[in-house]
Amino acid sequence: MAPVLEVSGLSTVFHTRAGIVRAVQDVSFSVEAGETLAIVGESGCGKTMTALSLMRLIPSPPGEITAGSVKVAGTDLLKLDEPGMRKMRGSQIAMIFQEPMTALNPLLTVGRQIAEMVSLHENVSRRAANARAVEMLHHVRIPAPERRAREYPHQMSGGMRQRAMIAMALACRPKVLIADEPTTALDVTIQAQVLDLIGDLRKELGTAVVLITHDLGVVAETADRMIVMYAGRKVEEGTTKDLFADPSHPYLQGLLASIPKFGAGEGTRLREIPGIVPALNNLPKGCAFAPRCSAAVAKCQEAIPPLETKRPGHAAACWVT
C-alpha cells in the first residue's frame, strides 16, 4: 500500500536573538492509511514542531521550514500557497491538540464550529452541515449529541471537549490526523476512553494517525510503528513491538529502563539518564546524545551518526550499537 503521508528531509529552524534554533533537522517518515505512527520524545525534542511543520502552522517569522517535502496523497504541502494550504487543512490533514479549550472557540457552540468546518470544505446547505455536526458528535460517542451541539465548550468536561475536537477534526474525513499529546491533560480513565475512540475511528475511516506523545505507555498500547526524536533529529525508527523488545539506540534503551514497571519488585532502582537535553541553539558537534551516553566513544563527539538499518524495518542513528 502506498503511504498517504510522506515526509522527507524536513528541517525547521527558528531565527532568535540567541542564534538559530534547529528545531527539526532532516526528519523523514511515512504513514499508511489506517496506520498509527507515534513520534516519541521528551520536551524540546522537536516532536510538536514536526507536527506544526506538517500543518504549515509554524509562525513565520521567526520560524522557517528550510528544507524537505510533506506529501499527502502525492501533493507536496510545502509547495502550496496559503489559500491552497487552507483547502488541505481539515479536508486532507487535520490536527488535534493537547488542550482542547485553546483550540475551540469559546464564543461559538460546538455544533456551529463543526458545521463551519464542513461548509468551508464542502458545498452543502447549512442544514446539512448542522446535521453532519450532530452526526459527528454521535460518532465520537458523545451522549445526547443534538443537545451537546448547542452547548459551548466551557459547558463540557475535558474529556468531552477532546471528543468534540476529534469530531471537528474528522468531520471532513481527512486522510491524515495529527494528534499532539491528545490525552496528556486528561485523567487516566478518560485517557483510555479517548485513545480507544481514536483507535476505533482510525479503523472505521481508514485515517492515518500521527500520534505525538512523551508517554511510552500510550505508544505501546496504540502505535503500530514509532520514531524516536532527540534534539530535533530522528534517532530511531521501527515497529513498536520491535523497538520495545530490542531498542538499538542508547537513548531509547535509557528511556525504557527509566520508567517504573509494574511488578518490578522491592528495591529495584530505576535507571537514570544523567544530565539534561542540550539546548537546540548550541548543539554539540557530534551525536547530540553523546554527552549523556554511557556507551559514547571518541567518534561520537566528532560526527553526527547517520540513520542505519540495524535489521529489516528497524533503523537507528548510533555509531556504537
Question: Can residue 221 be called a binding residue for another protein (CB under 8 A)?
Answer: yes
Question: Can residue 188 be called a binding residue for another protein (CB under 8 A)?
Answer: yes
- 92 vs 222, beta carbon nearer another protein: 222
> What residues contact 113, with CB distance under 8 A and at least 6 apart?
104, 105, 168
H helix or E strand, kind and range, residue 55: none
Question: Can residue 262 be called a binding residue for another protein (CB under 8 A)?
Answer: yes
| Closest distance to another protein from the beta carbon of 218 (Å) | 5
- 129 vs 235, beta carbon nearer another protein: 235
Question: Can residue 190 be called a binding residue for another protein (CB under 8 A)?
Answer: yes
Question: Can residue 297 be called a binding residue for another protein (CB under 8 A)?
Answer: no
- 55 vs 194, beta carbon nearer another protein: 194
| Closest distance to another protein from the beta carbon of 276 (Å) | 4
Residue in this structure with the C-alpha cell 503500530, named with its chain if needed: 224
> What residues contact 87, with CB distance under 8 A and at least 6 apart?
121
Instruction: Assign 35 to helix, strand or coil.
Output: coil
Residue of 18, 144, 264, 303 interacting with another protein (CB under 8 A):
264
- Is 287 within 8 Å of 305 (Cβ atoms)? yes
- 55 vs 142, beta carbon nearer another protein: 142
Report the distance separating Cα 274 and Cα 291, nearest Å: 9
Question: Can residue 18 be called a binding residue for another protein (CB under 8 A)?
Answer: no
Question: Can residue 160 be called a binding residue for another protein (CB under 8 A)?
Answer: yes
| Closest distance to another protein from the beta carbon of 151 (Å) | 14
- 93 vs 197, beta carbon nearer another protein: 197
Question: Can residue 151 be called a binding residue for another protein (CB under 8 A)?
Answer: no
Question: Can residue 193 be called a binding residue for another protein (CB under 8 A)?
Answer: yes
222 burial (CB, 10 Å; 0-12 / 13-18 / 19+) is: buried
Per CB under 8 A, the segment of 16-24, 63-71, 93-101, 183-191 that binds another protein is 183-191
Q: Which of residues 48-67 bind another protein (CB under 8 A)?
A: none
Residue of 34, 66, 173, 244 interacting with another protein (CB under 8 A):
244
Rg, C-alpha atoms of the chain: 21
User: What letter would DSSP give residue 137?
Assistant: H
DSSP bridge pairs for 89: 93
H helix or E strand, kind and range, residue 147: helix 145-149
Report the distance separating Cα 232 and Cα 13, nearest Å: 10
Report the distance separating Cα 239 and Cα 195, nearest Å: 19
Q: What is the dihedral of CA 58, 60, 6, 39, to 10 degrees?
A: -30
SS3 content of the chain, % helix, strand, coil (to 5): 35, 25, 40
Backbone torsions φ then ψ of 107, nearest 5 degrees = -95, -10
Question: Can residue 263 be called a binding residue for another protein (CB under 8 A)?
Answer: yes
| Closest distance to another protein from the beta carbon of 147 (Å) | 16
Residue of 15, 126, 150, 271 interacting with another protein (CB under 8 A):
271
Q: Which residues bind another protein (CB under 8 A)?
A: 42-43, 157, 159-160, 187-193, 195-196, 214-222, 240-241, 244-245, 254-256, 258-264, 268-274, 276-277
